[in-house]
Structure 1
Amino acid sequence: MKLTSDEQDTLQGNHGEAARLAMAVIVDIGELFGAEELIPVSQAHIDTTIYMVDAGVEFVEKLCELGARFSIPTQLNPSAVDLQRPEKLRADGEILEKSRRLERAYLKMGAIPTWTCAPYQQGLVPMFGEQIAWGESNAIAFANSILGARTNRYADLMDICVAIIGKAPGFGLHLTRNRKAQLLVKLADIGSDRFRDKTLFPLLGFVFGELAGDRIGALEGMPKDVEVDDLKAFSAAAASSGAVGLFHIIGVTPEAQTREMAFQGEAPEKTLEITSQMIQNAEDRLRTTNGREADLISLGCPHYSAVQFSRLRDCFAGRKVHDSVSFWVNTSRSVYSWIENSGVLQELEQAGVTVFVDGCPLQYPKKNWNFTVAMSDSAKFANYCFSQTGLEVAFGSMADCVETAVYGKIIRRGLSWQQS
């Protein structure tokens, strides 16, 4: 890989040991994937933020001790806990202490304490064509696909190195030629009128991700007036069921205003279909419990937006959560501030809802709670729930989750067009 004289100096340690180590990682990765050069990136979103193993904490602290500083604006993915209200979450002492260590190191290096998996709904939102370095699967898919920014699927630790250097290896989705669609995915018997049911978006994303795998698919048949939160749900689901870093929605996403644009003038390698039966099967598979009760409602995977909180408030319509149910919603600090100042937070708290910031809903301190069954409106959460938390799970719409919470029994109406 061709390096500039300044990059060579950094690699030789002339700009400090932290920069040398970060550059060495970036160069090794670039050479592994055949990159010809390093390219400047304008911002980073670091995924190495949830405490899982000591090595992750120690790596960040080592870089910090060596004097590492982020050279570009750098945001942070969620922590393992609510860093502002750890007592409300009953945060385990060790997990909280390790999370605090990560927090101190990142802030010392100059990170922006966003602690959110939905950075595209606040703060530093990249523009079309902007070269960035983002971690977090749903954020990567959203940035590449919906915003038209350019990032590879940056893994833990590498994202930190890129943020220090401000450059990334020029390969993969950073390059125009690698962003063309390979698969054409058509909606066989799902008309545009059915998209009025918001439950369809995460389920459709889940099926789409399974079909696409690690290939770039172009979906044909979605209406053009789709809302941002629905695209968020689609992105998160697709990135959880498949290794989706970029998708195109013909007529919706910026690089796919036409089928020809999506495929860069070439023919699709393969054409697949998604049927309503496939959507129904996905909905059934995202329920692992055979029981009728759920003791945890968990929303905010990805973190809830201000619009979603307003709709949630309307769903309750003055009713309250049943005594047998805990109702949790995860969001970012900025959205929390908005709902607090607007009065929405107070209304939800009066209904029995608990809102957490900073944390990931899949990483709560499990040994301090005795939940058995969770319900969520997120296909990503439902897909990962049992493997990451040990809880049985039921998928449903926001309204389903509220009705379940109010009555203390799982209420799952399913897709609206299948009720007639």
Structure 2
Amino acid sequence: MVHLTNYEKQMLDGQMGKFKQKAMQFIVRYAEVLGAEELCEVSRATLFIGAQHYLDCYAEDTDYKKIFSEFYLCSNEIVEFDKVSSCCKTQTCAACCDLKEYERTHLSREFHERNRRYLEITKEIGVKIVDSCTPYYVGWVPMMGEHFVTTESSNVVISNTIFGACGNSDGVEAAVCAAITGRIPKWGMHVKENRYATCVFTLDFEVKTQMEWDLLGFTLGRLLPKHEVPVIVNGLKDAEINRMRQLCASLSVTSAAEICHIVGLTPEAQTLEMALGGKKSEHEIRVTKKDMEESLSMLCDKGSGKIDYVSIGCPHISLDEIYEIALYVEGKKLPEGVELQIWTDYATKEMATVNGYTKLIEDTGAALLTGSCPIVMREDSHRHATAMVMFGAKQAFGIRHQTKVPVYYGEVFRCIDAAYNGRWEESK
């Protein structure tokens, strides 16, 4: 049985309106399934909503109120819109398309307009339109111990790992209902005892470049036993947020890990003993260069060849990275028929535009795009491609479920070189 506070009981009884009542009914059912005995207060949320492709089961002219009631609130009754919780800072996660561009991403105007209509309603209920899978770049930064929900897998790992905040990989319906009620079942990463490391990773090598951090996350996820919590004890050099972003994103691809302790770096792992909670580890795994090479072989097809579709920015990249790319490509020109898409959020793009970086990039024929990525936009955005180049690992791995053309993966500037050469060259 789930123990509710008086405030939560009032919400469940409908005293705060049908909108919150239906959402609370979902949260209570969710808690019962999980075996959670109580709820915890959620103060931050990111939501994967809009005209997302998981809604393709609905006809295009279906009223959004019906969609919202059935899909997010799991209600057969059509519920009038109200506001999300005033105690929960809520914004949109990755979007199904760029806010302004649709022709450059090969999507229809009708789809773009449908997404815009859905987001207008989303704004009215109190959700801020940010369209970012890296919300920490634009102010969404949970404090240590703060409870959050997010529908972005990499953000789950980042927020638990770096910020010491508390959240799980909840589904989109649970996240929406949590944002409406300000509550989520107290289980998983919301409980301190579940956050301690159980699997110790030792590296046989040093990890320096961003690509190596990216590959390491993918590799750790492959090697991590199910239901275990990883801690890395050595080998990581030049740690910073962009490298951590790649490690956390790729770890979430090959495992269900929601936190990754790093001894001496992350807040809950100042020592190995602290990370383990004073207990003995369940597993000890040594990671070798061969393990990393096996990961690379899963992400990058063999051989060389012509390419016509390059995407950088999974997860969305920072202003500093856009600056570096702008300087690198200045004065170059893309070959005819080759696309280079660079993905960020629209707030960061606006800063890039103010600083002149957008112009430097787009003068070459490339596109600085916002909010989405090829995986989220799905097949319509890239079915014309004959060979692809992707950074990072999450994108290079995930896109393979949507295409049969060659997919290459490598360090960021090597991917960019491939775009301007119109060709991928295999490493010697």
User: Is TM more than 0.5 here?
Assistant: yes
Alignment counterpart, residue 271 of structure 1, candidates 277, 281, 284: 284
Bigger mean CA offset, 376-385 vs 32-41: 32-41
Bigger mean CA offset, 20-29 vs 285-294: 285-294
Matches within 5 A, 1:4-15: 4-15=5-16
1:60–1:106 CA contact under 8 A, matched in 2 = no
Instruction: String of CA shifts for 1:337-374, please: whole Å, max 9, x gaps.
Output: 11100011111111221011122331336446511221
1:113 aligns with 2:113: no
Instruction: String of CA shifts for 1:376-416, please: whole Å, max 9, x gaps.
Output: 12000011011034543111111111211121110354xxx
1:289–1:373 CA contact under 8 A, matched in 2 = no
Q: Deviation of residue 61 (structure 1)?
A: 6.0
Cα gap change, 1:245 to 1:158, in 2 (>3 Å): same
Whole-angstrom CA distance in 2 between matches of 1:47 and 1:373:
29
Q: Could you tell me which amino acid in structure 1 is paired with residue 334 of structure 2?
A: V
Give the structure 2 partner of residue 205 of structure 1.
217
Q: Deviation of residue 329 (structure 1)?
A: 0.9
Q: Could you tell me which amino acid in structure 1 is paired with residue 228 of structure 2?
A: R
Matches within 5 A, 1:234-383: 234-288=247-301, 290-364=303-377, 366-367=379-380, 370-383=384-397
Q: Could you tell me which amino acid in structure 2 is paired with residue 276 of structure 1?
A: K
Instruction: String of CA shifts for 1:106-131, please: whole Å, max 9, x gaps.
Output: 11111111101111221221112211
Q: Deviation of residue 332 (structure 1)?
A: 0.2
Whole-angstrom CA distance in 2 between matches of 1:377 and 1:325:
16
Cα gap change, 1:397 to 1:175, in 2 (>3 Å): same
Q: Could you tell me which amino acid in structure 2 is paired with residue 405 of structure 1?
A: A
TM-score (norm 1): 0.92
Matches within 5 A, 1:32-181: 32-49=33-50, 50-54=52-56, 58-60=66-68, 66-71=80-85, 72-181=88-197
* Aligned alpha-carbon RMSD (Å): 2.0
For structure 1, the 5+ residue unaligned runs are 414-418
Q: Deviation of residue 224 (structure 1)?
A: 5.7
SS at match of 1:303: coil
Q: Could you tell me which amino acid in structure 1 is paired with residue 100 of structure 2?
A: Q
1:40–1:167 CA contact under 8 A, matched in 2 = yes
SS at match of 1:310: helix
Give the structure 2 partner of residue 404 of structure 1.
418
Instruction: String of CA shifts for 1:127-168, please: whole Å, max 9, x gaps.
Output: 122111222101111111111111111211110000000111
Give the structure 2 partner of residue 416 of structure 1.
none
Give the structure 1 partner of residue 406 of structure 2.
392
SS at match of 2:374: coil
Matched residue count: 410
SS at match of 1:376: strand
1:41–1:166 CA contact under 8 A, matched in 2 = yes
1:76–1:116 CA contact under 8 A, matched in 2 = yes
Q: Deviation of residue 208 (structure 1)?
A: 0.7
- State the identity as a percent: 28
2:330–2:360 CA contact under 8 A, matched in 1 = no
Instruction: String of CA shifts for 1:152-197, please: whole Å, max 9, x gaps.
Output: 1121111000000011111110111110001001102x03xxx333
1:289–1:393 CA contact under 8 A, matched in 2 = no
Whole-angstrom CA distance in 1 between matches of 2:334 and 2:356:
19
Q: Deviation of residue 59 (structure 1)?
A: 3.6
Whole-angstrom CA distance in 1 between matches of 2:302 and 2:99:
31
TM-score (norm 2): 0.90
1:51–1:79 CA contact under 8 A, matched in 2 = no
